[in-house]
Amino acid sequence: MDWVAELAVSQPNFFVEICNDRRPSAAVEHPVKSYPTPQNVAHTMRIKGFLLNIPSLWVDGMALFPFILSKRKVPSRYFLNHERIHLRQQLELGLVIFYVWYFIEYLIRFVQYRNHYLAYLHISFEKEAYAHERDLRYLRKRRFCAWWKYL
């Protein structure tokens, strides 16, 4: 079983790092086993997040700080990374401002592209998350408000 399956099945809680920590760390690959050790906590502030399995969800997944809602019982590691990037964005802006901004930007992109899916893909928060979801170390090196440059 890989770490995500382990995470989802045995411990549906995870940590959202909110400080930059540029040290390479095994913690990214094995969060269940390595969180939290005194060494990790000393360098990074972590907020607990929770993975919720909701089979009736109308989308594959969504981030609603401090929760990641997932339609699948065992989501992929890239899906989880994508949603964790959204959790970080929500931490920076606050949940209400994040969703108000998200919705307004969606409307602007919809006027631009005249297509729901294209509008969604061009929201700055989504552009950042899709660009980096396959880099499992991304959140460790990400700069504050990194979504800004995707506007």
- Sequence-separated (6 or more) residues with CB below 8 Å from residue 41: none
Does 129 contact Zn ion by CB under 5 A? yes
List the x/- string, 10-49, binding to Zn ion by CB under 5 A. Answer: ----------------------------------------
- Beta carbon nearer to Zn ion, 27 or 136: 136
d(CA 88, CA 145): 9
- Beta carbon nearer to Zn ion, 42 or 96: 96
- Of 7-15, 27-35, 92-100, 119-127, the segment contacting Zn ion by CB under 5 A is 119-127
Residue nearest Zn ion (C-beta atom): 129
d(CA 150, CA 125): 8
Work out the end-to-end distance of the chain between its first and last CA atoms, rounded to an integer number of angstroms: 38
Q: How far is the CB of 126 from Zn ion (least distance, A)?
A: 5
Give the pair of three-digit tokens for residue 45.
Answer: 């502030």
- Sequence-separated (6 or more) residues with CB below 8 Å from residue 51: 7, 8, 12, 13, 14, 67, 68, 70, 75, 80
Does 136 contact Zn ion by CB under 5 A? no
- Of 9-17, 73-81, 114-122, 129-137, the segment contacting Zn ion by CB under 5 A is 129-137
Which residues bind to Zn ion, rule: CB under 5 A? 126, 129
